Amino acid sequence: MGGVTSSIAAKFAFFPPNPPSYKVITEESSGGKLIIPEVPRRGDVDVLKLRTRRGNEIVAIHVKHPKASATLLYSHGNAADLGQMFELFVELSARLRINLMGYDYSGYGQSTGKPTECNTYADIDAAYKCLKEQYGVKDEQLILYGQSVGSGPTVDLASRLPTLRGVVLHSPILSGLRVLYPVKRTYWFDIYKNIDKISMVTCPVLVIHGTADEVVDWSHGKQLWELCKEKYEPLWLSGGGHCNLELYPEFIKQLKKFVQTLGKSKSGGTNTNGPKKSTVESDTESKPSDSGASDTFELGADVPEVSRNSLDSRLEKSKKPNKPEKSRMSTDRVDRFRRRKGLVW
d(CA 59, CA 82): 8
The answer to whether the CB of 234 falls within 8 A of the CB of 208 is: yes
Identify whether 242 is a catalytic site residue: yes
Distance CA 193, CA 156 (A): 9
Tell me if the bond preceding 19 is cis, omega within 30° of 0: yes
Q: Out of 148, 151, 171, 310, pick the active-site residue.
A: 148
Q: How far apart are CA 44 and CA 186, in angstroms?
A: 43
User: How are beta strands 230-231 and 204-210 bridged, if at all?
Assistant: parallel
Evaluated on CA atoms 237, 308, 155, 178, the torsion sign reads positive
Contact 146, 168 (CB under 8 A): yes
Q: Tell me how far apart the alpha carbons of residues 152 and 156 are, in angstroms, rounded to a whole number.
A: 6
Q: Name the residue type at position 297.
A: F
The active-site residue, picked from 104, 123, 125, 213, is: 213
Query: Which listed residue (242, 286, 310, 312) is catalytic?
Result: 242
Close Cβ partners of 7 (under 8 Å, ≥ 6 residues apart) = 116
What's the rounded Cα separation, in Å, for the pair 181 and 312?
Answer: 27
Residue 148: active-site member:
yes
The enclosing H or E element of 206 equals strand 204-210
- Decide if 243 contacts 324 (C-beta within 8 A): no
Dist CA 229 CA 221 (whole Å): 14
User: Would you please indicate which residues are annotated as catalytic (active-site) residues?
Assistant: 148, 213, 242
